[in-house]
């Protein structure tokens, strides 16, 4: 799999046919099927969210050498809480690999959250996320957190950041396969929540409104093999007021994104401050 910053909004890398017929796409498709099968088995284990239990052993200076190297520029970054938010019809089990991996890399506070499976409105989910963030700040004593959102989880977090003042608490947001510009696949199911994921919906129009004072940096990781976010370029976050960085990965399916090693590596270095925040740029998102 290749991973690269992408500064060309509205363009697809190569033809769709060439992408789908490549060896990378075949390997990614088979991997996606394997992960979907494994996820179905793990799903029941993710219905309960455990209490946040910070690991007191994971302190700056007490980490293994690899973790100390990751946080060399900012040792205190290891202590900022990280909240993982799942996507539609899912739960925290989708982050089983990422949560364990981030902890091994030295992040002391890595927690998950299940929003209601009966959620019918992005704004309502965003408000619930805000309450969860406040609880984490109270429990850990930190004023700001990082959020990693998969699919709908990323859109919920972005709505909270832009439209509900969530940038006051959320230091950075990393989205994985999030339909920032909607998905044509949302036309298949006419439920209230999924209708909000259609291109041009009221929710997406609200997110396109000016956000000149937004203090949260955004990294949008999207794939050319995403079967849910269609067209795949909709996984980009292109907003002139946001410090947004778009990262294209090739040959990784939608459900594989939170589990793929190179994606997890990219999330880790981003949260550790190893990726420079992108400056706001008129007309398009900038990249590091």
Q: Which fold has domain 3-271?
A: Rossmann fold (3.40.50)
Res 31 pLDDT > 70:
no
Query: What are the pLDDT digits (tens) for 188-215?
Result: 988 999 999 999 999 999 999 999 999 9
- The more confidently predicted of residues 288 and 32 is 32
Percent of the chain with pLDDT over 90: 65
Mean pLDDT on 124-142: 96
Reported pTM: 0.84
- Cα 187 from Cα 164, distance rounded (Å): 27
| Length of the chain in terms of residues written | 288
> What is the per-residue pLDDT for 103?
93
In the chain, where the domains are located: 3-271
Mean pLDDT of 216-233: 96
CA distance 34 to 27: 11
Where b means 16+ CB within 10 Å and e means fewer, 1-32 reads bebeebbeeeeeeeeeeebeebeebeebbebb
Which residues are bridge partners to 112 per DSSP? 84
Mean pLDDT of 65-76: 82
């Amino acid at each position: 799999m290749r991973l690269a910053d992408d500064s060309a909004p509205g363009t697809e890398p190569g033809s769709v046919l060439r992408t789908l017929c490549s060896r990378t796409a075949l390997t990614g498709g088979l991997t996606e099927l394997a992960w979907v099968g494994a996820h179905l088995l793990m799903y029941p284990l993710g219905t309960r969210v455990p209490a946040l239990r910070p690991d007191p052993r994971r302190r700056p200076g007490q980490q293994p050498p690899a973790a100390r190297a990751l946080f060399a520029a900012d040792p205190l970054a290891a202590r900022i809480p990280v909240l993982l938010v799942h996507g539609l019809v899912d739960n925290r089990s989708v982050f089983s690999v990422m949560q364990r991996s981030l902890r091994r890399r030295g992040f002391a506070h890595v927690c998950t959250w299940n929003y209601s499976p009966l959620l019918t409105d992005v704004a309502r989910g965003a408000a619930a996320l805000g309450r969860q963030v406040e609880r984490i700040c109270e429990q850990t004593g930190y004023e700001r957190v990082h959020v990693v959102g998969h699919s709908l989880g990323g859109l919920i977090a972005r709505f909270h950041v832009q439209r509900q003042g969530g940038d006051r608490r959320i230091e950075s947001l990393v989205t994985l396969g999030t339909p920032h510009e909607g998905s044509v696949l949302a036309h298949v199911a006419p439920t209230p929540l999924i209708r909000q994921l259609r291109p041009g919906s009221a929710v997406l129009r609200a997110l396109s409104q000016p956000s000149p004072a937004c203090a949260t940096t955004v990294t949008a990781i999207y794939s050319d093999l995403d079967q849910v976010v269609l067209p795949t370029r909709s996984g980009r976050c292109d907003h002139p007021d946001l410090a947004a960085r778009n990262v294209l990965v090739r040959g990784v399916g939608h459900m594989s994104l939170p589990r793929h090693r190179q994606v997890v590596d990219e999330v880790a270095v981003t949260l550790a401050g190893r990726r420079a925040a992108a400056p706001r740029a008129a007309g398009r998102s900038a990249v590091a």
